[in-house]
Amino acid sequence: MNLIAIDIGNTNIGVGLFLKGEEQFVKTFAGEATAELAEFLKSTWEMIPVAKRSKEGKRDGVIVVSSVKPAWTDIIRDIAKQALGEYILLVGKDVPYPIELSIDKSNNVGSDRVLAASAAYAVAEHAVAVADFGTAVTIDLVDDRGVFCGGAIFPGFEMSANALHNDTAQLPKVTVTKPKWPFGKNTVDAINAGLYYSAVSSLQEIVRRYAETIGTWPQLVITGSGAKIIKDDCEFVDNYVPDLVIKGIALAYQKYIESRE
């Protein structure tokens, strides 16, 4: 199984290469860096071997995409078609989700949430909560039967910091880092501590309520750019796994091709 897995988020685009089912690397780009991304996709596609029976030199691979930003999906689709002569496969449309969903409207859920949760459950094999700290924070639950139950969503660090700055008269814009003290002795440090510890405590409280609801404490996995900031202060977290959505894309495609054999 050779594929390029592309995770289109609200701010960044992640690209992972899998050869014979094994992850080779993952690289992240700012969403606006289309020229750089196009060159990278072209060079990455050339790492995939040519199909044995292809007389036209067609590569033996696919491009599978998870996206929460349709405008960027169109950009990736155009790059794939014009630069590579390939079509993309969208998870949730062309490739089914690799996990059962128990939510109100399955076509409205973010594919990144489902894929991260499915990748975590594939390893844990029992109840698992997955927190993705990106532009927004999502904390989702998969029960013991491997069913995606839904989750909670709240603003990420950047969005929260922007709201405090833009919606007040004097509060400055802050980039969240690990605080030196739990209380700030100036406005910047106070905002930083507030946003940081709010995220840590929200994560713990939400997962505690999940555990009370399903009758067992789920294994807790965190991912996303913001997770790197808080992971050392979260002793209740079982694993920090970067690029979990990319792994979920590969899992979804693997299960899809297995179902067709």
- What tokens were used for 51? 């199909």
SS (H, E, C) the chain: CCEEEEEECCCEEEEEEEECCEEEEEEEEECCCHHHHHHHHHHHHCCCCECCCCCCCCECCEEEEEECCHHHHHHHHHHHHHHHCCCEEEECCCECCCCEECCCCHHHCCHHHHHHHHHHHHHHCCCEEEEEECCEEEEEEECCCCEEEEEEEEECHHHHHHHHHHCCCCCCCCCCCCCCCCCCCCHHHHHHHHHHHHHHHHHHHHHHHHHHHHCCCCEEEEECCCHHHHHHHCCCCCEECCCHHHHHHHHHHHHHHHHHC
Q: Give the largest CA-CA distance in the chain.
A: 69
- What tokens were used for 25? 């690397």
The CA distance from 164 to 184, in Å, is: 16
The CA distance from 206 to 138, in Å, is: 11
Q: Which residues are catalytic?
A: 112
